[in-house]
Structure 1
Amino acid sequence: MTFFEAVFLGVLQGATEYLPVSSSGHLILAEHLLGLPDIPLVFDVMLHIGTLFAVFVYFQKDWLSMTSSLFYFKWGKRDDDKDDDKRDKNLYRRLPVCLMLGTIPGGLGGLVFSRYAETVFRSPWIVVFMLLTVAFLLALAERFSGMEREFSNIGLKDALIIGCSQALAIVPGVSRSGITMGTAMLLGLKREAAARFSFLLSAPIIAGSGLYEGFKLLRQQGLGAFSPDFVWGPLAAAVSGYLAVSFLMRYVARHTFYPFVYYRIIVSLFVAIILIK
């Protein structure tokens, strides 16, 4: 893999990871349609680690508030508590538990189906099918969900259901952000709340898979397995990922997900036509 291929894949990963269009699906399609070399799973994981930094930086206030609430929050109402402050503390005390609970299904799914992610699931036809499936999910959420609930209303039941949907993201073409945001919207969350929780929920599972694959590679091949591509690719993914998160959070404040629905349908049909020929 050349420097330019690594950077191109990093930009592609970062730009599509947080948009509901499937980053893994686009990477596989890039392999098949552009003649790029096969992307090792560990490099794919390292690209995800790059995008992880984007979430940490963009949502740094949320991470800091969760951390501080774990240490300074006190149960029960005090006379000098302001209602807004107490509500914020309750949210950030509950949120880490929601993220941990929502991560469990994805972690179990990764352990059980990781070998299929490297082989069977990498078929471009599977990507085509899942692009269409999640497009339908997003359209369904836009059409029938009330989307009236705020981010502060997220509970453990919501986290578990959204987490179960995240487990399906191991299949290329699904899109971690697409399926979790669509599920959150079907549960009644507003678009901004759905996107925010989706991005926060992605952090533990990406960090866990990155550490697992990194240690596995070190144990098998040592430091020599990490080429310069493992620096430039993830760095490009971090920058483009931050820009994608920033864009989407501003976008969902005023617009629907229908453009992404149409994009997924167009890409899937375009790829299907090429594959048939």
Structure 2
Amino acid sequence: MANVCSAGLDIGFASLDYVQIGILGIIQGITELLPISSTAHMRIVPAVLGWHDPGSAFSAAMQLAALAAVVSYFWRDVSAVTTGSIGAWQRRDFQHPMFRLAVAIVLATIPIGIAGLALSHVLNSCGSPLRSLSVIGYSCIAMAVLLAIAELVCKHKRTVGEMRLRDALIVGIAQVGALIPGVSRSGSTLTAALFLNFKREEAARFSFLLGLPAIALAGLKEIWVLLHAQIPAHAWSLLLFGLVVASVSAFCAIWGLMKFLERFSTWPFIVYRALLGVFLLVAVGNGFLQ
């Protein structure tokens, strides 16, 4: 379906109804925090069902739903890092674990902050080539291969308490890959953490905590852009509805993921990503999806 634009911004979601937004909100919330790429599913589902592409603005704004879910689920960690780092700063105890984790979170945000600003005109523009189904298909397959290698060759022994600033920087650089649709923010950071030999559930926890500022900045920036794009009031009500639905589904997704990784590996996600990527490339190649 054609893109819907406002001041050059892709706001396809404004042409959808509440049922469609509700369905996409559920899918967005679940896939945003699982290592399977929310953008891929936001492109595939509308394409298969014949709906308008909700657009990159919708996906970016939905980051606030992911933020609410992560903060809610990891509230003890977030509270401990906040109060602990402030207390450590006041005591000038710069080796305190919570202060070091706070610094790590800031450090991990710098790469994607710079890259996001530099590429914002490409990422959110109408008809962005980065949102093509072929790009998403190749990205899904590439990340499946990397995640598979991490599962096969890495030791899964480290905890977040053993985190070094170098680890945070590496995961932060990997997070930049999430700007490419199909890569997945949780997928890229989880994979990087696994390569650093973190336990699977600790890698997920590390990934989510380090991604909090990036998730918040992406969502808030998109809301700011939408405010200045003069989109219709109906679009705002749709967006708010989508945020509520996506917040609930995102919380369920993160709860399920953490429980799953305590007992199992990431192979189901690897297989799913690979099959999804192959499906997209075959579907595009045969004209089933455009």
Same structural fold, with TM-score higher than 0.5 when normalized by the shorter chain: yes
Partner of 1:58: 73
Q: Is the aligned partner of 1:120 residue 2:129?
A: yes
Question: What secondary structure, in the 3-state scheme, does the structure 2 residue paired with 1:21 have?
Answer: coil
Counterparts in 2 of 1:169 and 1:50: CA distance versus 1, 3 Å: same
Alpha-carbon spacing, 1:225–1:163, altered in 2? closer, same or farther (3 Å): farther
Provide the C-alpha distance between the structure 1 equivalents of 2:209 and 2:87, rounded to a whole number of angstroms: 21
Structure 2 residue aligned with 1:215? 224
- The reply to whether residue 266 of structure 1 matches residue 275 of structure 2 is yes
Provide the C-alpha distance between the structure 2 equivalents of 1:223 and 1:263, rounded to a whole number of angstroms: 38
Residue 102 of structure 1, CA deviation? 0.2
For CA contacts below 8 A with separation 6 or more, give which structure has more relative contact order: 1
1:101 aligns with 2:116: no
Establish whether residue 171 from structure 1 lines up as the match of residue 177 from structure 2. no
Partner of 1:90: 96
Name 2:33's counterpart in structure 1.
18
> Structure 1, residues 117-145: CA drift from partner, whole Å, max 9, x if none?
23010000001100000001110000000
Gaps of 5+ in 2: 1-15
Helix, strand or coil: the match of 2:21?
Answer: helix
Q: CA deviation at 1:75?
A: 5.1
Show the counterpart of 1:85: none
The one-letter amino acid of 2:48's match is L
1:120 maps to a residue whose letter is P
Q: Given the superposition, is the C-alpha separation of residues 276 and 207 from structure 1 closer, same or farther in structure 2, using an over 3 Å criterion?
A: same
- Alpha carbon RMSD of aligned pairs, Å? 1.8
Q: Which residue identity is paired with 1:99? A: I
For each residue in 1:229-252, what CA deviation from the matched residue of structure 2 results, as whole angstroms up to 9, or x when unmatched?
111111111001001100111111
Identity %: 35
Kindly indicate whether residue 47 of structure 2 is the aligned counterpart of residue 38 of structure 1.
no
Distance in 2 of aligned mates of 1:128 and 1:40:
17
Shift of 1:222: 6.9
Measure how far apart 1:53 and its partner are: 0.3
- The alpha-carbon deviation at position 209 of structure 1 amounts to 1.7
Normalised TM-score (structure 1): 0.91
Task: Measure the CA separation in 2 of the matches of 1:114 and 1:183.
Answer: 24
Query: CA contact under 8 A between 1:99 and 1:200: conserved in structure 2?
Result: yes
Residue matched to 2:210: 201
Further displaced range: 197-206 or 54-63: 197-206
Aligned residue pairs total 266
Q: Which residue of 2 aligns with 1:49?
A: 64
Deviation digits for residues 186-227 of structure 1 (CA, Å, limit 9, x no counterpart): 111111111001111222112112222222222231783752
* Secondary structure, counterpart of 2:229 in structure 1: helix
Residue in 1 aligned with 2:168?
Answer: 159
Give the Cα separation in 2 of the matches to 1:253 and 1:222.
44
CA distance in 1, matches of 2:150, 2:31: 20
Partner of 1:136, secondary structure, is helix
User: Counterparts of 2:55 and 2:223 in 1: how far apart (Å)?
Assistant: 12
Letter of the structure 2 residue corresponding to residue 148 of structure 1: K
2:153 equivalent to 1:147: no
Name stretches of at least 5 consecutive residues in structure 1 with no aligned partner: 77-88
